Every structure is written in C-alpha cells, then in structure tokens.
A and B are shown apart, each in its own frame.
Chain A
Amino acid sequence: MGEVMITVDGLEVTFRRGGDTVRAVRGVSFEVMRGESFGIVGESGSGKSTVLRAFCGLAPTSAGSVAMGGQGLQTPRSAAFFRQVQMVFQDPYASLHPRHTVDKVLSEPLAIHGFDRREERIEQALAEVGLGAGFRFRYPHQLSGGQRQRVAIARALILEPQVLLLDEPTSALDASIQAEVLNLLDRLRAERGLTYLMVSHDLAVVSHMCERLIVMQHGRAVEELSRAALAAHRAETDYTRKLLAASEGYSPAPG
C-alpha cells in the first residue's frame, strides 16, 4: 500500500461531431492506491464510463493526463499496458462473442500476449471463478447471465493483470447472482492484491465494494467520499444526498 497505482489529473474528454461538441468529462482528478478499490458513481450521461474508457485509451483525452504507477501513458496504449489493465463490461450478453466457445474466449488473450502453459492457465482461470472444466467448451448461449459474467472475469484475470476496470459488472444480473459475483470479485482482490476501478449507478454496490468513491454529475466530480462517510450518510452536496435518498427506495413527495 501507499504506492499510487492510477492517477487521473484534470481529465477532460470532449467529443466533436459536425458542429456539436459534447464535453463528456470536464476536469476529473483522483488517485487510486495499489490494492485499493475505488468507485465512480453517477447517473447515465454523467461521464463515469467515459473516465474508464479514457484511462484505457478508448476515448480521446482532450486535456489533463492519466498515468499508471507514476508513468504517463502513450496513445495508443502499449501491449504491456493491457497486460496490466483489463476491463469487465456491463452486459455479459453483449461482451462475449456468440460463436466463440469459452475456451476460445480465454485462449485468445493468451495467444495475443504470448503466454505459455495455456492449457493449464485456462483450467486454472475457470476454477478460480467457480466454473468447472465442464464449462470450457460451451458457447455463451449455453450459459446463464451469472456464468457469462464469470467467464468475462476469467478472461480479464487470465493475463494476471494488476488493475481491473469494472464497468457496471453486476447491473444486468439478478440480485442473488449479483451477490455471488460481488463476493467473487472481493475474494479475487484479496487473494491477488488487485486494484479495482469500478463504475456503477448503484450506491449500495459501490459502497460494498469500494473504500473510496467519487460522485459524478454532468461530467464533473461533485464529491469524493469514503465508504464510512457514505455509510453514515455524511454527504456534502445536495446531489449526493438526493442519490442516497433515491437508493433507499420510494418515498412520497416531500411536503
């Protein structure tokens, strides 16, 4: 601990198309320590996913900088970067190739990065996410949503990365399956000392998974909180308080 893993400093992302300019991220800064789990919470269009995408070079950075382990990152990102940083996406129905077996999904990153002992690694990766060897030659349509997300996590972990970027990893899953996947992510982080950067609209999920978090609205980070502050409902801004109230469930109109 104590070592800074991810630095995002004054990040701005602007998309231009024709005469339209969309300032998706407007000056966001934070640091994530090695082994820490950091959350970004916001509603749709707040720019939370864009921050993740900008970090791994999938969105253009128009101002500010991102760095990993103190090193600035070049664009396009190097292969070494992707060996250290992997991403798990929201929708396990869309993020797995429908005509690739689990075996193919897992062996492709190994081949790209020139790993040895591929057989062994695939079996180990499946075992780690709680899928037996029996799942190895199945297609995505033969798996449930939770099983698919486990495959997506196995695919990310098979390169032995240090950082996992999680973009709403459980929001497409049922509550009971969500609990299983969150537990799996928690356990893997403890075992491997991974660093997580997690994006979600669900305050409860983020507060369960992350030690610190920022709340984003309209491309800006409106507030940074610790898990303890969130748990005690010590929010500084109105917007965070509104989110907190909404996540408690329905309440009749005030007044």
Chain B
Amino acid sequence: MSPLLTVEDLRVTFPTRQGPSEVVRGVSFTLGRERLGIVGESGSGKSQTGRAILGLTPPPGRATAKILDFDGIDLRAARPATWRSLRGARMSMVMQDPKFSLNPVMTVGRQIVEAVKFGATGTRAEARDRALAMLEAVQIRDPERVFRAYPHELSGGMGQRAMIAMMLVTEPDLLIADEPTSALDVTVQVEVLRILDRLVAERGMGLIFISHDLRLVSSFCDRVLVMYAGRVVEELKASELKQAQHSYTRGLMNCLPQIEGGQRPLPTLERDAAWAK
C-alpha cells in the first residue's frame, strides 16, 4: 500500500534581519494509516513541520521540499483551489487551544454545520444531524446543548472536543493534531486521546500527533520522530523509546521527574553542538 503522505527534505525558512533563518531543515518521513508522533522542545520546528504540510506556513516564511505528496497529489504545486478542496475535507488540523481556534461569535453547532456543508452536499437538516452525531461521537454527553452553545460557554475539555468534532465531521484522511491536549487536565486528556485513537482504528485515518510530551507520545503513538533544532535526530518505534540511541532523546527521557522517585538532582540535558550540525 502506498503511503498516505510522503515528505522529503522539507525546509521552512523565515527571513530575518540577520539573513534567512531555517527553522525546519530537511525533514523527511512517510505516513501510512497510523499514529505518528513528532516530539521536540519549543523551537524545534515541530509545529512548523505540521503547518507546512497543510500549506499554512505563515508569510513571510517559505516552505520548500523535494517531495510533498498527499495521496498522489503534489502539494508543492497545489493551487489555491486544490488547497481548498483538500483542507478541511481531506486533511485537517487540531490546534492546541480551543479558545483561539473556535469562532467566538458563532455557536458551536453553526461552526460544525459550516464544516459539514463545505465537504458534502445535502440538506440543512442532514448537516445538522451529522453535526450532532459527531458531537456524540466525541463523548459529549448533551450534544443538543453544546450545539447551541457559544465557545465561551464551554469548558476547555468540551471546547477541545467540539474542535475535534468539527475537524473530523468531514472524515478527513489525515489529521494533524498540534498539542491537542496540552491545555487540558490529565483526566480529560486521556478521554480526548481515546477518541482520536478510536477514529484512527475505525476510520483508518492517518494521524500526526505533535507534542512536547515524550511520555504521552510514547504511550499513544505507533512511531515517533524526535526533532531538535529543525531536524529529525531520531526515528523510532514508540515501544522502543527506552532503547533510544540518540543522546538527545535519552537526555529528554531522563530529565523527567518520576513518581516512583528517581535521581536527585535530576539529570539535566547537556546540549551538544553536534546535534544541530
């Protein structure tokens, strides 16, 4: 089976006063219908990688790649019309904070219905039914109330679920989730991840899960890319994270405090200039 997404030598550059600054420097990977994690600290280029795939590199930044192929479509040469037919309908993105990614002056229901209409034909009643069904699928107990609610009337966990519902109602083939649960409490986080997990399993969606949380990613994803200073320094199976080879990955693992008690003082990360080469 050919991969859903192929990325080769992706570079994202921003012009600065000191000359162009490359924040993503030659990232390559393929994605099938699986859960791929991208882990890194702030400034590692993980979010810019996700955005570049959707063609959402904020200007004046520029994204280039040798190959950027989504299900046979060359995204590098995609025209605005092509992007419009892809984004939302076949590939979508969940951002970190529902407070900033939902429209504050539109009810949640109207926003989801808008997404449904965008992707498909059908009557208004059908769109409404699909939106309600989707809200139910993301474990919202009272979908009718949430449908009528404005974003500020929802808690963080509810807002994030509504956001996920909106992104998934068009049944995309690829979902890019950029820190989808970082703003949520741990117990809510687990519920949201279970929803994503089920959708990958049931609908055969490809998921790119971007996070700074190595422990979470390793327990949730199938495969993990570890990014440092714009490069992928290591790619490994999530289950084999404990056997990581690269000293950055190992350092990142070791510096996390453990509930079971660990070293004191905590080992800190000795950054090696060679990692960024």
Whether chains A and B associate is: yes
How many residues of B sit at the interface, in one of the four size bands?
35 or more
CB of A205 within 8 A of CB of B257, answer: yes
A interface, how many residues as a size bin? 35 or more
> Interface digits, B173-215 against A, CB 8 Å rule (1 contact, 0 not)?
0000000000001111110011001000000000000001011
Asked whether B190 lies within 8 Å of A178 as measured between CB atoms, the reply is: no
The 8 Å CB contact of A44, one of B156, B194, B216, B267, is B156
- Contact A183:B187 (CB < 8 A) given known A175-B255, A207-B259, A250-B216: no
Q: Given A44-B156, A175-B41, is A183 in contact with B259 using a C-beta cutoff of 8 Å?
A: no
CA distance A145 to B41 in the complex (A): 12
A201 to chain B, nearest CB (A): 7
Is the C-beta of B277 less than 8 angstroms from some C-beta in chain A?
no
A174 contacts B257, CB within 8 Å?
no
Choice from A44, A203, A252 contacting B185 with Cβ under 8 Å = A44
Q: Does B219 contact A (CB under 8 A)?
A: yes
Q: Bound state CA distance, A176 and B249, in angstroms?
A: 11
Residue with the highest number of chain B CB atoms closer than 10 Å, among A176, A246, A247: A176
A204 within 8 Å of B (CB atoms)? yes
Q: Given A207-B259, A250-B190, do A175 and B268 touch, yes or no (CB 8 Å)?
A: no
Task: Determine whether A187 belongs to the interface, using a CB cutoff of 8 Å to chain B.
Answer: yes
User: Within 8 Å CB of A252, what residues of B?
Assistant: 194, 197
- When distances are taken between beta carbons in the complex, the residues of chain B under 8 Å from A233 are 259
Query: Which residue numbers of B lie inside 8 Å of A, CB to CB?
Result: 41-42, 156, 185-190, 193-194, 197, 212, 214-216, 218-220, 251-252, 255-262, 264-269
In the assembled complex, 23 residue pairs joining A and B whose CB atoms fall closer than 8 Å, in A order, are A174-B42, A175-B252, A176-B255, A176-B268, A179-B255, A179-B269, A182-B257, A182-B265, A183-B266, A204-B256, A204-B257, A207-B257, A208-B261, A208-B266, A209-B257, A230-B259, A231-B259, A231-B261, A246-B187, A247-B259, A250-B197, A250-B219, A251-B219
Top 9 closest pairs, chain A to chain B, by CB: A249-B219, A208-B257, A179-B255, A176-B269, A246-B186, A43-B185, A250-B220, A183-B265, A174-B41
The chain A residues found within 8 Å of chain B, CB to CB, are: 43-44, 145, 174-176, 178-180, 182-183, 186-187, 201, 203-205, 207-209, 227, 230-231, 233, 242-253
